[in-house]
Each structure stands twice: as C-alpha cells, then as structure tokens.
Amino acid sequence: MNLNFHKSGFVLFAACCIYSSAFAEVADVKYKVKIHGAKDGAVKKAIKESTVTWKLRKRLPSTAGQLRRRIEKDIPAIEAILEANGYYDGKVTTSVDAGRSPMRVYLNIEQGEPYRYRKVELKFTGTPDPALEKIKPMLRRKKQVEASAVFQEQQRLLELMTRKGYPFPALEKRIVSIDRENQVVDLTLVFNPGELAYFGEVQIEGLSTLPPKYIKRQLPWRAGKKYNAQEVDDFEKRMLGTGLFGSVHITPQEPTSQTNVIPIKVQLSERDQRTVRLGVNYSDIGPGAKVYWEHRSVFGEGERLETSVMWNPIKLGAEGTLTRPGFLDANQSLVLNLDASVDTPDAYDAKQVRAMSMVLRDFTSKIQLGIGLGYKYSLVEQFASNERYAHLIFPAHLMFDYRDDKLNPVRGGQVFGRTAFYDDTIGPDNFLKTQLEGRKYFMLWETYRVSSALRLTLGSIDGASVESVPADERFYAGGGGSIRGYEYQAVGPSLLGTPTGGDKLLEFSAELRLQPGRRLGYVAFIDGGTVYNNLLENDVNRSLRYGAGLGVRWFTGIGPLRADLAYPLNPDATQVERLQFYISLGQAF
C-alpha cells in the first residue's frame, strides 16, 4: 500500500515537472530594447524603423532562442544603416541582461567618424551635349556621405535631363571609391541620357463631351520644339485645375521609327460638368451662407461659368464669372465678372454693381500677370451723407506663388500685388489703389510637422484725398481676415464710434503651426496693424493694434477646417467684445 502511494506520488511529481518545463518553453519572453552610442539622430531613427528586435518588441518571442535569432539578424541590418549614413568604420555589438525582468537587450553602436566626399563627378554617355555638360552636382566636397542624398541627387539629375530634351534618361553606373585611410569617398554617376527628342503628334484619349481642340488650344508647346518635361508637368496640372477631369496623365511615347520626334499621349477621364455647393461659416460678423453653382463647359469647349449668392449680417450679394481658357494663346485666359451687392457694415452703407474683364497670362506655373478693364457704379452713405459714384477701372495684378500646398502650405511662399486706377466719370477725383502682400512658410521640425507662417500686407491710395475716395473703397482693418481679436473694421480711425477708413494700410501676422497627427492641428498666432488717414489728426486709433490667440485645425479631404479664438492685446475704448471666435475653411493665410 505504501509502495503504491509512493509510486503514485512520484508519477504525479514527474508529471508536474514535465508540465512546468513545457509551460516554460512556450511562455513569452518579455524584453526591452536599449540603443546605446547612436549619436546621429538619422541612424537611431533608421535602426528603430528597420530592425526586427525593435519593431517586434511588442510581439514577444516564445523562447530566449527566438530572441537571440532576432538580434543576430539585426546586426548586418544595423551595419548597412551605418554605411548608408557614411559611417564605414562603424561597429555593432549586442548583449542581453537576462537577470532583469523584463530582459534587457542592448544594441551598442560605435559610429566612428563619418566619411565625406572628396570628389563627386558626373558623366554622360553618347554624343556630347553642352546643355548636359553645364549640369553641376548638388553633392559638394566635404559633405557627409548619405545613401538617401545620393538617391535624391540621382532623381534630381534624371528630372533635369528630361527638362533639357531627353525624355528617357537612365542611370547607367554608380561608382563608389572608398579611401578608408583618409575617411573620404569618391563618387561618380554615369548617365545615359538617351536620344535628344522633340515634341511630335499629340494623341488624346478619354474625351467624351469635350472636343480635342479644347486640349490642343492650350498646349504650351508646338510640334518640333525640343522636349521639356517641365512643360508637360505644368500642362498636366493646368488640366487638372480646370475641374473638368478626374484624372490626367500625359506621357512621352517611344518613337515608332528612326526619328527623334516623339508622340505625346494625353489620357483623360472627364468629370460631371456641373456642381452645386452650399457653404456656411461663422466669424466676428456672425453666421454666413453661400450657394454656389458651377458649369465647367457651358458652351462645350471648357468655358467655366461660376455663379453664387451669399448672405451674412452685413452683406447680401450675387456674382457670376465666366472664364475662357486658351484665349489667344495657350497660356492666357479671359475672365468676365459681374457682381452686385448691398453692404451694411458699421462704417458705411453701399449698393454697388461692378463689371470687370481681365486677361490672365501664366508666364510659368508660379508667375501670373493680369490686366483688365472694368466699370463700377455705387451709392454710398456714410455719416448721413449720400454719394453717387461711377468709375472706369483699369486693374492689374502680379502673383508669384511657390507654396507647396494651396490650402495648407508648410514651405515656400507667395507674393502678390494688386493695383487699379479709378477714373471718376462724374467728377474730378481719380485715384490709384495699390495693395501688396507677402507670405512665407517654414518647416521647423519635420518629425512633428511644426511650421511657421508669416504675412505682411501694405496698402496705399494715392491721387485723391481720403474724403473723395468712396467709403467702400478705402482700407479697413480688424476681423478674421485681417487682425484677429478685433471687431470687423474696428482698427483704425473712427468718428463717433464709426470707422472712417483710411488711405494707408499696414497688417502683419505670425503663426506657429503644429500638426502631430493626420486629422488635428494646433496654431498659436499674433496679428497686428492699423489703418491711417489724414482726416483726424489727433485720432488715438493711429496706434498699432495687436491681437493674439489659439486655434484648432481639422484636416479634411477638401482642406483644413479652421477654428480660432483671439484676444485683443491693446484695444481702445471702442472695442466692446474681448474675445472673437472664427470658423472657416482653409488656413488664415
């Protein structure tokens, strides 16, 4: 009996031991990863993005052996990262501290000194071309070696060759010579540019309602001109910008015979030509609404007709605009505009009708010039004085736009100027109204998308006294599109609490923008400026006014939705509200 008991106990004990051993084999091995010695931020970031030990640290291995295999596989990967960033003498060692819970995995990096370029040389095979020989590398002597920079340089040079008449260039050879004694690298990039090519026949596919001549009328090149990929890219963007097409693909084709004249294929897919939209907004002047209707080929050849009706507490207006692309030249458009409105801000009451025609010419994808002719008839009341005005208007504008994004720019800038001469047809008071604005955008911290935005606006009315200029054409400041934190038109000269407007304008803004995620962004801003005139010499509103605040941006498929809360920093006694709230689509500038 005792023997059987001891045998049973032994069997139970052995079974428990076997079960415990099996459980230990399948239990997850918890660990943490420590990276030591990677002083170069790019190296450390690449290790985290590329190594299995780091990326799978939350997917625990079943055994210590699996963990060791992860670490061993990562060693050559880390060595490749070091070489890709110019650390050819770098070394990698690993260690595991199994005595801690969870275990510690140490990736020890000895970077060494970075290698730098001693010589960077470009070579082109085939027939010598002076245009190619003038190309210089951007990788300079003594610059740290980085594989990503070499790849970017290759792409830049290939794109540059396509702009100099070579549609099918290729990198033929990359020669890297490493001098370990002097810790320098010689780099030679050998390109095969292919054949020099010229624009040939345009093949258009995908049109269903528009005629082919609509496309051909706007081509920025002519048959026989030397091929330039920049013109192709600009034309593709222009076609997309018409709103007529859901997709546009323009590609050079291989020549069909022994010729260097290449056909260009234009593939398009048309969109519905009509659009109806309803927009609402809220700002310091209250709620607003706008109904918008657009026909993008009203006469069958891409003429865009845009009509809208808008309302807010101080304005009721209607507007129609007809745009004819390819007017007399592929790079020109004719714009006809007619608008009428009733305006009732605190500064004045005005009823006006205006007709305008403009010819816009795109010199490049970034530079546009416009000149035109217009007529405006208005009835304006200010301080119980009713005036009738009729002006011939001769407008002109110039724009240089190199922003990386129209609705949410983080790099680049924009400079534009508008000027118009107003010829008084029922009086002697002619004047010239000019406004200049510059915007600049900087990316400060790529990882968290921290950027800054700056704006400066200057305006001047010359040739007539302020009281001779219609009140609705004078400059005003204050409000959501001007100096946030102040009531609409409340900054500048006033009489008995009513803004008078002025003939000189100064505004400036600075924003710090943060976009840590895909959907939400945050903004801190400060605005400033004022309006001047010589009507009220002792007016206290000549002082610069400042406003500051915070904002939230919700990024949607059609642009950021903006919500700002602003506070006036040095208001005068006429400022009633101390907080102003704004909601609209798009960044403030």
Question: Mean pLDDT per 10-residue run, the chain (589 residues)?
Answer: 40 39 56 91 91 90 91 94 94 92 92 93 91 90 91 95 95 94 95 94 92 90 93 91 90 86 94 89 84 92 94 96 91 95 94 97 92 97 92 97 90 96 94 97 90 96 93 93 91 87 95 91 96 66 86 88 92 80 87
In a domain, 21, yes or no: no
Query: Are 238 and 266 a contacting pair, CB within 8 Å?
Result: no
How does DSSP classify residue 472? G
Residue 45, C-beta contacts closer than 8 angstroms, at least 6 positions apart: none
Query: CA-CA-CA-CA torsion for 173, 174, 179, 183, nearest 10 degrees?
Result: 170
Residue 291 lies in a domain: yes
Residue 309 pLDDT? 97
Pair (325, 418) in one structural domain: yes
Kindly state whether residue 134 falls inside one of the protein's structural domains: yes
Q: Tell me, yes or no, whether 375 and 487 share the same domain.
A: yes
Does 381 share its domain with 438?
yes
Give the DSSP letter of residue 257: S
Query: Of 91, 110, 129, which residue sits at a domain end?
Result: 110
Q: Is residue 104 part of a domain?
A: yes
Do 378 and 497 lie in a common domain?
yes
**489, 478 Cβ separation under 8 angstroms:** yes
**Tokens 């070696």 sit at which residue?**
145
Neighbours of 85 (CB within 10 A): 23
Residues 323, 407, single domain; the answer is yes
Q: Give domain status of residue 306, yes or no.
A: yes
- CATH number, domain of 338, equals 2.40.160.50
Residues 359, 243 share a domain: no
What DSSP element (H or E) covers 177? Answer: strand 170-179
Q: For residue 60, what is the domain's CATH number? A: 3.10.20
Same domain, 226 and 146: no
Judgement on whether residues 386 and 524 belong to the same structural domain of the protein: yes
310 and 231 housed in the same domain: no
Q: Which of 241, 270, 299 is the C-terminal boundary of a domain?
A: 270
Do 412 and 478 share a domain, yes or no? Answer: yes
What is the pLDDT at residue 14? Answer: 42
Q: For residue 475, is it within any domain?
A: yes
Strand pairing category for 504-514 and 498-499: unpaired
Asked whether residue 22 is domain-assigned, the answer is: no
pTM for the full predicted model: 0.73
Q: Which two tokens mark 89?
A: 């003498």
Residue 552 lies in a domain: yes
Whether residues 174 and 218 fall in one domain: no
73 shares its domain with 123: no
**Beta-bridge partner residues of 105:** 33, 96
Q: Which of 48, 75, 110 is the last residue of a domain?
A: 110
Task: Find the CATH number of the domain harbouring 144.
Answer: 3.10.20.310
Which domain range does residue 247 map to? 198-270
The predicted structure's pLDDT at residue 578:
81
- Closest to 509 (Cα-Cα) out of 547, 536, 475: 547
C-alpha–C-alpha distance, residues 491 and 500, integer Å: 10
User: Would you say 333 and 326 are in contact if contact means Cβ atoms under 8 Å apart?
Assistant: yes
Smallest CA-to-CA distance from 382 within 496, 272, 276, 239 is with 496
What is the DSSP secondary-structure string of 299-364? TSSS-EEEEEEEEETTEEEEEEEEEEESSSSTTEEEEEEEEEEEE--SS-EEEEEEEEEEEEEESS
Which residue type sits at 244? L
Task: Name, in order, each residue with C-beta under 8 angstroms of 438's C-beta and a sequence gap of 6 or more.
Answer: 413, 414, 415, 455, 456
Tally of structural domains, the chain? 4
Q: Output the furthest CA–CA distance in the chain (Å, rounded).
A: 131
